[in-house]
Amino acid sequence: MEPHVRVDRITKRFGRTVAVDGVSLDVDEGSFTTLLGPSGCGKTTLLRTVAGFYRPDAGDVFIRGVRITDVPAHRRNTAMVFQEYALFPHMTVAENVGYGLRLRRVPAAEAAQRSRQVLELVGLVGQEQKFPHQLSGGQQQRVALARALVVEPEVLLLDEPLSNLDAKLRIRVRSEIRGLQQQLGKTTVYVTHDQEEALAISDRIAVMDRGRIQQLGTPLAIYHHPANRFVADFVGLANFLEGEVSGPGQVRAGPVMLAVPDGARAAGPVTIVLRPEAIRLHAQAPAGAPNVLRGRITAMSFLGTLARYWVDAAGRQWTVDVPSPGEAVMRGEVFLEIPRERIHLLAAD
């Protein structure tokens, strides 16, 4: 099947800095793709290139196989939700939402009906005559979304749309956005630096760094099978150990010998990635389990849904998360158990 949106070897420079460096990305129809990365990684630049605000120095953008690289921004149908919403402050909610339809010369009756439908979708019926400054942040966000959706864009672009909302609202609105996207089957490209947000709402995530896509995959794959140390470090928390494959299913990391999944990696230096919640903590040595280390708790931080421990073992510090800790607090001597199937190996950088 032909991808709905295709980004083909896009390079974009600003002066001497290369913001996007030869990136290719296919976005399937109806999918929700997230560009995730730290600030300056090129994610916003890539999104804005799709919107037509930037002309790439090299490469092309296609929609349904049609090259649109030279189509000016105002003639692409790539509606965008801006980070700061960019609502027209002198227009009411209705006028903001209707603006794109007005430019498209949609007859008034049809425009009114479409606006109403979209406002219903985002739950803003009754607010039509208000001005943006009379709305809460969350409501402004919905107007921005409605304004983009009403023109029935080929692809919906969202540039960190939740960054101006408080933490609770952010979680609510993100599931609303995802719900709407699935309900409408709208092809969506979403930019964020928040890895949790990306994991929560995406079909696929493209993790970006220094102008390149480091890994493209489902949230599960990105989290559990990061392609490199950057991805492992940026998405979630991880313990890293430098080691060497010493035999089949065996890795030596300093004084520690670990049993790893069979057929993981044949030979050579590796980086071991261990998520904090993958490690189990025991007060007594567990009987019969492989990969057990004796350690000592040096610090603890209670986070409600989990307790985070810092443990000294085998000459280094480990971060270990104990889920659902209740009121139990562990102290002093402990044993770390590392289930072999939760160990992820990377070729050493």
Q: Give the residues lining the site for other proteins (CB under 8 A).
A: 14-15, 17, 19, 45, 48, 51-55, 72-75, 78-80, 82-90, 99-100, 103-104, 147, 151
Rounded to an integer, what distance in angstroms lies between the CA atom of residue 8 and that of residue 316?
44
Shortest distance in whole angstroms from residue 228 CB to other proteins = 26
Question: What's the rounded Cα separation, in Å, for the pair 151 and 136?
Answer: 24
If the CB atoms of residues 160 and 321 are measured against other proteins, the closer one turns out to be: 160
Could you tell me the two tokens for 26? 């296919």
- Listed residue (29, 40, 32) closest to 6, CA to CA: 29
CA distance 318 to 341: 18
Q: How far is the CB of 133 from other proteins (least distance, A)?
A: 13
Residue 99 region, left (φ>0) first, then alpha (ψ -120 to 50), else beta? Answer: alpha
The distance of closest approach from Cβ of residue 208 to other proteins in the complex, given in angstroms and rounded to an integer, is 15
Calpha distance 211→222 (Å, rounded): 18
Q: Which is nearer to other proteins, 161 or 325 (CB)?
A: 161
Nearest distance from residue 100's CB to other proteins, in Å?
A: 4
Nearer to other proteins, 33 or 96 (CB): 96
Cα first-last separation, the chain: 36
Residue 70 Cβ vs other proteins, minimum distance, rounded to whole Å: 10
Instruction: Say how far apart CA 329 and CA 214 lie, in whole Å.
Output: 39
